[in-house]
Structure 1
Amino acid sequence: MGRLNLLIFSFLSTFVLVHCEDPYWFHTWNVNYATQSPLGVPQQVITINNQFPGPRINCTSNNNIVINVFNNLDEPLLFTWNGIQQRKNSWVEGTLGTNCPIPPGTNYTYKFQVKDQIGSYYYYPTTALHRAAGGHGPLVVHSRELIPVPFDWPQDEYTVLVGDWYTKGHATLKKLLDSGRGLGRPSGVIINGKRGKGDGTDEPMFTMIPGKTYRYRICNVGMKNSINARIQGHSMKLVEIEGSHTVQNVYDSLDVHLGQCYSVLVTANQVPKDYFFVASTRFTKKVETSTATIRYVGGKGPASTVLPEAPTGWAWSLNQFKSFRWNLTASAARPNPQGSYHYGKINITRTIKLVNSAGAVDGKLRYAVNGVSHIDPETPLKLAEYYQVTNKVFKYDIIQDDPPSDVGNKIVIAPNVINGIFRNFVEIVFENHEKSVQSWHLDGYAFFPVAIEPGTWTPDMRKKYNLIDAVSRHTIQVYPKCWAAIMTTLDNAGMWNLRSVQLERQYLGQQLYVSVLSPARSLRDEYNLPENFPVCGIVKNMPKPAPYSA
């Protein structure tokens, strides 16, 4: 009888161990080139499992995601998970500062957890100019069943990946940048890989039952331009921005800047027929527009060819940004920074001002941050830190926290790494002295965008900050001749990329890395180098360092 009890206890213990970990979702991706015509011109695109855009990753907060990527391209490849914070795990960030790329004809398995997150995100390739060929897809993190969302469950939900597009292939675009030239103007706009004709002949991309409410997750996956999104004859109730529930304001249209994702609720309360989802470029001399047909079930009649107009000017867009507020009463997984929900009451430890600039180096176009145009060394920055050979790869803090006013006059090409102090509460100010709208993304963190204002930032500008309910997010736009301020706690150890989301600017150096090292070198703060992690550069044949301890 004692042995039977022991066996029962052993069985139950095994059951609990198996089920105490959060669920796993396994994916196998075959990444290939294919010929498609997003803008009516045959060109090479990147597909995942023969899909363009790629397959949707659908999961729930705290789930574990395992993706085995087979690289069937003729070039090295990496993917990043735009907005997924990778707690303690910059090893899977998927940028050239953290990862050796996946060689052609091989595979690599990403494993990460969507820890304490909900919301709308997307993934895309970060190597070369592969992003200009596609390879992107939606990543949706739902709330756990026990946690209520602050709106009724919709009838269905749709992902809308919208962005500008070039008909020139990614290899041709890369040659342009490598030769010292710019990319020029995009050729058009696509929605979920297609450009609608807007004449009523397109097959419906979305359907709605009269009287029902639907969730549209809209992400700007483009390369150069902000996008205005609107739905013919319908209003949109904003409910989520990049992982945070928002105060539910109603809008006729939304400016979605590069790298950003918004969730809106749309009720099918109009005459049952077809309507257009409309997306057009913002702040461009020539406005590019695309449509996608929304069809009411049982409806009769084509969509009107008269499209709703987009707003003009960036002042309208700035006012819309100021109307966004975090829903502080909603129950949800709260994103990083942990413990910073009352961010307005935390003392600022460090202020970093970042000024973007453009110029020529040896006759070739480069973009810079505080006068430094980033270049990726052969040895990823994170590997150099882990193997403790940073002195052979890069130098910390070659830029100043408060650069001089003429910082953009001269550009230096070098790896650009800021030494972030673990658990410091930092204020980052982006100053845009140029005539175009900029967009910035920070990996590994959510931050609080407390202000965007015209002019030049000074400490006195803190009087204009929203210190109560700024929406916690990971991407921020900066309008021409304006500044933007964000706040975050550097509590996520790792090497994290802060980059311009504009592809041309990012590729030509407008990015940097924030190194956040835990003094304890403990597993409580950061995971060890994964067993299957490929190494390259000067550390390729070096013995692996002793792992972090508990």
Structure 2
Amino acid sequence: MKMIIVALFLCLSAGVMAEDPYHFFEWNVSYGTIAPLGVPQQGILINGQFPGPIINCTSNNNIVVNVFNNLDEPLLLTWAGVQHRKNSWQDGTLGTTCPIPAGTNFTYRFQVKDQIGTYFYFPTTALHRASGGIGMLKIHSRELIPVPFDNPADEYPVLLGDWYNKGHKALRAILDSGRSVGRPDGIQINGKSGKVGDKNAQPLFTMEPGKTYRYRVCNVGLKTSVNFRFQGHTMKLVELEGSHTVQNVYDSLDLHVGQCLSVLVTADKTPKDYYLVATSRFTKQALSSVAVIRYANGNGSPATPELPPPPPENSIGIAWSVNQFRSFRWNLTASAARPNPQGSYHYGKINITRTIKIANSRAMVNGKLRFGINGVSHVDKETPLKLAEYFGVPEKVFTYDLVKDEPPQGNNMVVAPSVLNATFRNFVEIIFENREKTIQTYHLDGYSFFAVAIEPGMWTPEKRKNYNLLDAVSRHTIHVYPNSWAAIMTTLDNAGMWNLRSDMLERSYLGQQLYFSVLSPARSLRDEYNILDTQPLCGIVKSMPKPTPYAGA
């Protein structure tokens, strides 16, 4: 009898332990006055905060966020870099999800499955990101999984990027009228813009002498690449967009729009104040901001006004930046979200099944500015693309494969929903060609990919011999320098509808994005989750009966 009771207890315990922990959040999204550059303006706050609350979780945790939309417009939030395995319903883009109507709420439910690293969330609707609604999402390694550096004394979140003193409604009106929003007004760091010599500046963070701190840094701006550095201190890069890196030491680091990383900084200098410096990159007009980093025993001794210099090149040259990109390497001996070493995935030995070459472009269509990919400028419809596909009526909303695998000749631009069919579990190569004079950054939802090369000029098949096929960093954004190209590789093993977009908000709003439709032939829960009963419906599917759910596991 005792053995039966013990066996029953073990079974029950196993059942309880089988499900990963949950984190519950309740967010009130509202307007409020903010002044990132010192000019009061209407901002978007979450629980009264800008930046918004930090989601602090561990690999495989379940995240439940109940979002109350108290704006006067529909709202969606996306979780940039979180892969949402088999669950594009929770991706928070207009191609997959109906927006949350004003005055209502919606609950996001997703699992940070087999991920670690530094990410951020932001609104994807109506240019809201230009007014706030941004916050950090940190995913820690599980306790049993070793991390390739000692535990820091503390972790400090840094959300920086360019900023406009005009709010999202004014900027949206400019874009809708057919014009560009132009240059940003400045750079903010955690919602503030600092100046050298400001005696009233409060410290952003405080460090104790001899201790090492982890700074998680994201560029949450709209269009500007940023270089950041710590006055008098070096930085050891340890994580880049969810991957542990070879731990090189840097005086300064470029961070492009939408990108996040982690650096270790040791408080080993004379106790006093120092500046964290952020300056614009690849812009004709220099923008900058500083924040005070204080030593606990420095008695508030002010930072010296001499700032560490920016990278040694003008806005045209890219050699220094390309070399820095090439120095980023995957740490092949470190574990990631799972105990196996990262390098156990030998991506360089997998045969490429499809090459997609992507070129960004801009054109005037009916007198208005539009941006596109391969001659197609994406527009969102009332019915999300994923819902139309799931309900079996895609032809009523969009046409597959308007965008081709090669850029077309000429400057003609088609304005329409852009959906590219992709084969489930294919290993693809995507080439990004930037034929313009401004830097680009792209993000792919639902996936990480291997950033194998960036070079000036035009791509040709012979360029593959220059790829890093051993230890390229697995990440989810890629930048493309002016008149240059970048190459990535990934396995399309995450079924769903996934957004590939420019991370420059102006460009994605005006059409520089597309969706990959990755369908599993099995139509099984093993490959993709069913739509939730609580998922809002809109457009032509609002009154349609739901399709037969996927089965199996």
Deviates most, 240-249 or 454-463 = 454-463
Q: Identity of paired residues, percent?
A: 70
The residue number in structure 1 matching 2:46 is: 48
The residue number in structure 2 matching 1:111 is: 109
Q: Tell me how far 1:285 sits from its aligned partner.
A: 1.1
The residue number in structure 1 matching 2:33 is: 35
Q: Tell me how far 1:10 sits from its aligned partner.
A: 5.9
Asked if the contact 2:84–2:110 (Cα under 8 Å) also holds between the matched residues in 1, the reply is yes
Aligned partner of 2:419 among 407, 412, 417: 417
The residue number in structure 2 matching 1:368 is: 372
Distance 1:380 1:162, change over 3 A: same
Asked if the contact 1:245–1:326 (Cα under 8 Å) also holds between the matched residues in 2, the reply is yes
Match runs of 1:134-213 below 5 Å = 134-201=132-199, 202-213=201-212
Question: Quick one: which amino acid aligns to residue 259 of structure 2?
Answer: Q
Asked if the contact 2:272–2:295 (Cα under 8 Å) also holds between the matched residues in 1, the reply is yes
Question: Quick one: which amino acid aligns to residue 393 of structure 1?
Answer: V
Asked if the contact 1:200–1:305 (Cα under 8 Å) also holds between the matched residues in 2, the reply is no
1:378 aligns with 2:382: yes
Aligned partner of 1:529 among 525, 528, 531: 531
1:400 aligns with 2:390: no
Question: Quick one: which amino acid aligns to residue 287 of structure 1?
Answer: A
Structure-1-length-normalised TM-score: 0.97
Aligned partner of 1:69 among 62, 67, 79: 67
Aligned partner of 1:441 among 437, 440, 443: 443
Q: Tell me how far 1:302 sits from its aligned partner.
A: 0.3
In structure 2, how many angstroms separate the alpha carbons of the residues matched to 1:401 and 1:92? 28
Distance 1:360 1:548, change over 3 A: same
- Give the match's secondary structure for 1:237: strand
In structure 2, how many angstroms separate the alpha carbons of the residues matched to 1:9 and 1:459? 61
In structure 2, how many angstroms separate the alpha carbons of the residues matched to 1:26 and 1:334? 24
Aligned partner of 2:120 among 110, 122, 129: 122
In structure 2, how many angstroms separate the alpha carbons of the residues matched to 1:395 and 1:340? 39
In structure 1, how many angstroms separate the alpha carbons of the residues matched to 2:276 and 2:160? 11
User: Alpha-carbon deviations, 1:171-218, whole Å to 9, x = none?
Assistant: 000000000010100000000000012214210011110111000011
The residue number in structure 2 matching 1:231 is: 230
In structure 2, how many angstroms separate the alpha carbons of the residues matched to 1:90 and 1:131? 21
Q: Tell me how far 1:466 sits from its aligned partner.
A: 0.4
In structure 2, how many angstroms separate the alpha carbons of the residues matched to 1:110 and 1:18? 23
The residue number in structure 2 matching 1:268 is: 267
- The alignment's C-alpha RMSD in Å is 1.6
The residue number in structure 1 matching 2:91 is: 93
Deviates most, 290-299 or 197-206 = 197-206
Aligned partner of 1:79 among 74, 77, 80: 77
User: Alpha-carbon deviations, 1:248-300, whole Å to 9, x = none?
Assistant: 00000000000000100000011000000000110111111111100001114
User: Alpha-carbon deviations, 1:37-82, whole Å to 9, x = none?
Assistant: 1111110101101110000000000000000000000000000000
Question: Quick one: which amino acid aligns to residue 379 of structure 2?
Answer: I
Aligned partner of 1:480 among 479, 482, 489: 482
User: Alpha-carbon deviations, 1:402-431, whole Å to 9, x = none?
Assistant: 233x24x11110010110100000000000
- Give the match's secondary structure for 1:91: helix
Asked if the contact 2:343–2:471 (Cα under 8 Å) also holds between the matched residues in 1, the reply is no
Q: Tell me how far 1:14 sits from its aligned partner.
A: 4.2
Question: Quick one: which amino acid aligns to residue 46 of structure 1?
Answer: I
Asked if the contact 1:232–1:278 (Cα under 8 Å) also holds between the matched residues in 2, the reply is yes
The residue number in structure 1 matching 2:362 is: 358
The residue number in structure 2 matching 1:310 is: 310
In structure 2, how many angstroms separate the alpha carbons of the residues matched to 1:304 and 1:200? 11
Aligned partner of 1:428 among 412, 418, 430: 430
In structure 2, how many angstroms separate the alpha carbons of the residues matched to 1:198 and 1:17? 57
Consecutive unaligned residues of structure 2, counting only runs of 5 or more, are none
Structure-2-length-normalised TM-score: 0.96
Question: Quick one: which amino acid aligns to residue 16 of structure 2?
Answer: V
In structure 1, how many angstroms separate the alpha carbons of the residues matched to 2:12 and 2:544? 39
- Give the match's secondary structure for 2:475: coil
The residue number in structure 2 matching 1:298 is: 297
User: Alpha-carbon deviations, 1:451-486, whole Å to 9, x = none?
Assistant: 011111111110110000000000000000000000
In structure 2, how many angstroms separate the alpha carbons of the residues matched to 1:465 and 1:12? 51
- Give the match's secondary structure for 1:77: coil
